[in-house]
Chains A and B, each alone.
Chain A
Amino acid sequence: MSDVMFVALAVVSTASALLLVTRRNPLYAALCMMVLFGTTALLFLKLSAPFLAAMQVLVYGGAVLMLFLFTIMLLNLHPEELGSEKGLTFKLSAGILSAVLAIFLIYAVKFSRDMTGGSFPELPAGSAAFGSAESVGEGIFDAFVLPFELVSVLIVAAVAGAIVLTKKKL
């Protein structure tokens, strides 16, 4: 049951990822991206990380995707403005690079399987709440509060930088 679900989700997410990069119409690409984010969230849910799943949809499916859509609609590209089809050399080199990456990833999975003797280790006892909103919150606001606050300083700096760069007159 669990394997069937995983295979179904994996097939749908891989297919939507492929469609995402092959669509020429940006709005269709965004649609595929939404499917991709949704299936990724479901995969997180299957790995018992409900907080991560909710954040995946909330941040990527909601905020980031909406930002993309906003930009796409503001640009409002006509079919002739989408650029010409890429040449054969480009397609071939991109294909080879992707194949190399895929081989590396498959090898990495195989390597980790061999290291653990074919089965992934069980989670230590008492980690039933691993990935839940509570344990993530405790991690962020208790154990790792200093790095978390430093990251937020970094984000504030980035936001201020974006405003300075885009605003001609402050």
Chain B
Amino acid sequence: MSTLEIIVTCIKVLAVFTALQMAVPVLVIMERRGVSFIQDRVGPDRCGPFGLLQPFADAAKLVFKEDITPRHVDKLLYFLAPAFCLIVPTVAFAVVPFGSGIRIGDFTLSFQIADFRVGVLYLLAILSMSSFGVVCAGWAQNNKYGTLSALRGVAQSVSYEIAMCLAVVAVVMSTNSDSGVSSTAMSTIVADQGGTYLGFFPKWNVFTQPIAFFIFLAAMYAETNRTPFDFVECEQELVAGYMTEYGSMKFSMLFMGEYIAMALQSALLVTFFLGGWTLPWVDLGDGSIAGGIASVIVFLVKWFAVAWLYIWVRWTLPRLRYDKLMDLGWKALVPLALINIVATAFVGVWLRS
């Protein structure tokens, strides 16, 4: 790795980190104005034009709040948990390709921090630790709401993680890796979805793997603890679940971690199923500056659409019953994902022969 590559990678890390931090206020105002629209009311509209500065006002309020540490908490874990909630989804973003790349002379600036050959595995490995923050927060605050919330969080994320991993396995299986590239690299999965069938139909995985898409979609809501699967912090039962004893900046870190996880899952859905940065009818991966910028815009538009879907679902569907959640995970999604894998294997062999 040359010095130039190291410097460029550091700049990319900083850029992605900053973009993720800035994605939180955008998502917050989208959510608040979105829910107002769905519930037929106005929502926050006093701060700045259309209430766009509301999240910054919220952040300023949280920063200036008194930072209280309750006396009965487990100090170390109480302080570690918010950091953990924030770090895990941020770290997972390292392998998400958010654009095609720009070629300047011999040097290619790819819009992805690290393109591992085992990128998908890296992602699943990081995601499998995502509930650790919830567990630490829930347990450290030494209170019944928190403990119940943490228990539910672990059970839920372990159950739905399996379905999610199996859905991704089907995607990896259907990714073409004939030309020596690794089908577990994120860039290959995106590049394979570029182009069209019959000249007009997008080659996105959502059309070739519809079952995997819906399994991933359902597991996505469960993994980020949002309605209809928000058992971790359902307000009517658990106050705020694992966030109950947190205040000030530590609360806002938990809050940001949750929104970054939502941003991550939206980006993953786009990458795995909606073609990532590719546009079916135009080749954006030619290395030109215009193509590179256009690919980032395409990715952002798709990402916003999925993020809106997240908000739309949250404020439309009621919460499931807890046993129904487990039934859905173990008795419907996991078997369905397994059948999908076997079917993908058969179709793949049949297409190849």
Q: A: which residues have CB within 8 A of B?
A: 27-28, 31, 34, 41, 50-51, 54-55, 57-58, 61-63, 65-67, 69-70, 73-74, 76, 132-134
Contact = CB atoms under 8 A, between A and B. Distances in A.
A57 B154 contact: no
A62 B161 contact: yes
Nearest to B128: A62
A74 B151 contact: yes
Contact of B129 (A61, A76, A132): A61
By CB atoms of chain A within 10 A, which of B121, B125, B161 has the most?
B125
Interface stretch (B26-34, B131-139, B257-265): B131-139
A93 B157 CA distance: 42
Interface in B126-170: 126-129, 131-132, 135-136, 139, 147, 150-151, 154-155, 157-158, 161
Contacts of A66: 128, 131-132, 135, 154, 157-158
Nearest to B77: A27
Interface of B: 74, 76-77, 80, 116-118, 121-122, 124-129, 131-132, 135-136, 139, 147, 150-151, 154-155, 157-158, 161, 182, 184
In the A-B complex, the 8 residue pairs with the closest CB atoms:
A62-B128, A54-B121, A57-B125, A58-B125, A50-B118, A70-B154, A54-B125, A133-B118
A62 B121 CA distance: 12
If over half of B's interface residues share one DSSP class (helix, strand or loop), that class is named, otherwise mixed; here it is helix
B139 A54 contact: no
B121 A73 contact: no
Contacts of A74: 151
B121 A55 contact: yes
Contact of B139 (A27, A41, A58, A62): A27
A69 B157 CA distance: 13
Given A73-B150, A73-B151, A63 B182 contact: no
Nearest to A129: B117
A55 B154 CA distance: 20
A148 to B, nearest CB: 16
Interface centre among A51, A54, A61 (most CB of B within 10 A): A54
Contacts of A133: 117-118, 121, 182, 184
A133 B77 CA distance: 35
Nearest to B130: A62
B158 A63 contact: yes
Contact of B154 (A41, A51, A73, A132): A73
Contact of B118 (A51, A62, A67): A51
21 contacts: A27-B136, A28-B76, A31-B77, A34-B129, A50-B117, A50-B121, A51-B121, A54-B121, A55-B125, A57-B129, A61-B128, A61-B129, A62-B128, A66-B131, A66-B154, A69-B132, A70-B154, A70-B158, A73-B151, A73-B154, A133-B121
B147 A50 contact: no
A67 B76 CA distance: 22
Contacts of B129: 34, 57, 61-62, 65
